Amino acid sequence: MYTQLEDEFGDVVGKARRGQEIAVAALADRVGLTAGDIAKIEDYELVPAADVIEGLAQALGLHPGKLQTSAAQAFFPSDPAGRSITGAQVEMMVLGSGFLMNGYIIGCAATGRAAIIDPGFDADKILQRLAASGLTVEQILLTHGHQDHISALAEISQATNAPTRIHSGDLALTGSLAGQIEGELAEGDVVSIGELRFEVRATPGHTAGGISLVHGEMAFVGDALFAGSLGGTRSVDNYRMQRQAVAEKLLGLDANVALFPGHGPATTVGEEREHNPFFL
SS (H, E, C) 208-239: CCCEEEECCCEEEEECCCECCECCCCCCHHHH
Closest to 144 in 3D by CA, of 224, 89, 249: 224
pLDDT of residue 263: 98
pLDDT of residue 1: 82
In 3D space, the residue among 58, 78, 45, 47 whose CA is nearest the CA of residue 16 turns out to be 58
> What is residue 163's predicted lDDT score, i.e. its pLDDT?
97
pLDDT in tens, the chain (280 residues): 899 999 999 999 999 999 999 999 999 999 999 999 999 999 999 999 999 999 999 999 999 999 999 999 999 999 999 999 999 999 999 999 989 999 999 999 999 999 999 999 999 999 999 999 999 999 999 999 999 999 999 999 999 999 999 999 999 999 999 999 999 999 999 999 999 999 999 999 999 999 999 999 999 999 999 999 999 999 999 999 999 999 999 999 999 999 999 999 999 999 999 999 999 9
- Domains of the chain by start residue, with CATH: 9-71 (1.10.260.40), 88-275 (3.60.15.10)
Nearest-10 Cα torsion for 113, 117, 86, 93? 110
